[in-house]
């Protein structure tokens, strides 16, 4: 088949998140398959190598936690237009907003003949709430946001109507795309590298402890529900005092979460670990007994895959992405968003080390069979050819 020239397009690489890891790993795998792949972004953190930066424009903030790039679409469009004048891409694969808008608009205006294939990691929830109350905002802020998002919602709908195809990162996202945009989508799951996340290759002695250890990983933001997890942990400690909780991540909620830890008297048993490199992250996985994932509306969950690849059972809220990854009772446990139920399941597994060991083994087997990057890249490639690119 014809080797493809592909542009992966994402607003920012200023942090290491699931989307950013997906783009970098998929690009690497597609290159291995003989394709020419470039990655473009407005902002690029120096830790990411090989990303082509389109602009250094910084965002303005309105209200207290809503960031809007007022000129982002303009700068992204103008700079990407200059790229398209030089490069003749077969596929443009935009990810987060405003990348799909800019891509669709430039094609509509005749600046590219490339197929625009949007990768949806999650529809923009803020735009499609069915009520006028927005979590984390005051009443008057919510009213302003509600009316502000109406024209943005129209633009978002126009953008997605004008892409050639859509790829969703999970079945859950696929159904949300169909509900939100009335369009079907292909499904390509994010994956994990089982060679990097391989417990057989890891010496984690420096992070081992004589206490039972729970691990959670994620950005410290409200929607990740770490405050819920800390309350769960308080209940666990009441019955199993010799246990610690390690939370790997940074974010705007860190101060608030530390305050909650203090209020609950858990200062000696909860550790916040920031700026953890991948080499150390793998060791933290290896040193834990259970991985806990408290997010109540997780569209996928790459950290769940990482934990499973490290032979660690996962306890997660029974929703969205985790339901697609975890086989309940076999590779981990799915529980309701309840402090009591979550705590009970942690206590149950900590008391059953042989069950934990078997769950961990089955979890890694499931990752090896279903969630490797080579499989995801092959599916992406097949979708690219299906859109009409000559084979």
Residue ranges per domain, the chain?
5-191+372-386, 199-370
The two structure tokens encoding residue 114? 């490339």
Convert the pLDDT of each residue in 155-214 to its tens digit.
889 999 999 999 999 999 999 999 999 999 999 999 999 999 999 989 989 999 999 999
Pairwise CA distance, residues 160 & 183, whole Å? 9
Instruction: Determine the pLDDT at residue 288.
Output: 97
Architecture field, domain 5-191+372-386: 3-Layer(aba) Sandwich (3.40)
Which range scores top for mean pLDDT: 74-78, 134-138, 298-302, 337-341? Answer: 337-341
The two structure tokens encoding residue 302? 């790459």
Whether 5-191+372-386 shares its CATH topology with 199-370 is answered yes
Convert the pLDDT of each residue in 121-155 to its tens digit.
987 755 665 554 444 455 665 566 666 777 878 88
List phi, psi (to 5°) of 73.
Answer: -65, -45
Pairwise CA distance, residues 93 & 226, whole Å? 32
Residue of higher predicted confidence among 388 and 87:
87
In this prediction, residue 246 has a pLDDT band, given cuts at 50, 70 and 90, of very high
Which regions of the chain does DSSP assign to beta strands (E)?
5-9, 12-13, 36-41, 43-44, 51-53, 60-62, 66-68, 91-94, 115-120, 165-168, 186-187, 212-217, 243-248, 270-273, 290-293, 314-317, 332-335
- pTM greater than the 0.85 cutoff: yes
Instruction: Determine the pLDDT at residue 140.
Output: 62
How many angstroms separate the Cα of 62 from the Cα of each of 59, 224, 225? 10, 22, 23
Residues 6+ apart with CB under 8 A from 1: 385, 391
**Domain 199-370 top-level CATH class:** alpha beta
């Amino acid at each position: 088949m014809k080797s493809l020239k592909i542009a992966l397009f994402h607003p920012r690489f200023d942090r290491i998140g699931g989307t950013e890891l997906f783009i970098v790993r998929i690009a690497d795998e597609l290159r291995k398959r003989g394709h020419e792949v470039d990655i473009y972004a407005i902002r690029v953190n120096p830790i990411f190598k090989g990303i082509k930066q389109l602009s250094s424009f910084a965002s303005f903030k309105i209200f207290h936690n809503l960031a809007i790039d007022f000129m982002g679409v303009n700068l992204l469009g103008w700079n990407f237009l200059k790229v398209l004048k030089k490069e003749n891409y077969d596929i443009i694969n935009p990810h987060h907003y405003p990348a799909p808008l800019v891509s669709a608009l430039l094609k509509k205006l005749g600046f590219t003949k490339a197929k625009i294939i949007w990768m949806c990691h999650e529809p923009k929830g803020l735009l499609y709430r069915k009520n006028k109350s927005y979590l984390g905002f005051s009443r008057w802020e919510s009213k302003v946001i509600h009316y502000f998002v109406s024209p943005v919602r129209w633009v978002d709908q126009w953008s997605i109507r004008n892409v050639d195809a859509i790829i969703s990162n999970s079945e859950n996202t696929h159904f949300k795309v169909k509900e939100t945009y009335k369009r079907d989508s292909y499904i390509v799951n994010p994956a994990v590298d089982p060679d990097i996340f391989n417990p057989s290759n890891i010496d984690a002695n420096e992070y081992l402890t004589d206490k039972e250890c729970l691990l959670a990983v994620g950005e410290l933001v409200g929607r990740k529900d770490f405050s819920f997890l800390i309350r769960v942990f308080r209940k666990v400690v009441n019955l199993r005092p010799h246990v610690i909780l390690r939370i790997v991540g940074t974010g705007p909620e860190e101060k608030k979460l530390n305050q909650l830890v203090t209020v609950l008297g858990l200062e000696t048993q909860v550790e916040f670990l920031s700026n953890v490199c991948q080499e150390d992250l793998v060791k933290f996985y290896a040193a834990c007994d259970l991985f806990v994932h408290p997010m109540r509306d997780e569209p996928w969950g790459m950290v769940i895959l990482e934990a499973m690849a490290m032979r660690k059972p996962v306890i997660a809220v029974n929703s969205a992405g985790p339901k697609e990854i975890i086989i309940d009772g076999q590779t981990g446990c799915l529980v309701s968003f309840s402090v009591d139920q979550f705590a009970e399941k942690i206590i149950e597994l900590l008391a059953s080390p042989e069950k934990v060991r078997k769950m961990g083994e089955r979890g890694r087997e499931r990752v090896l069979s279903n969630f490797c990057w080579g499989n995801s890249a092959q599916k992406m490639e097949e979708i690219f050819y299906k859109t009409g690119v000559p084979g």
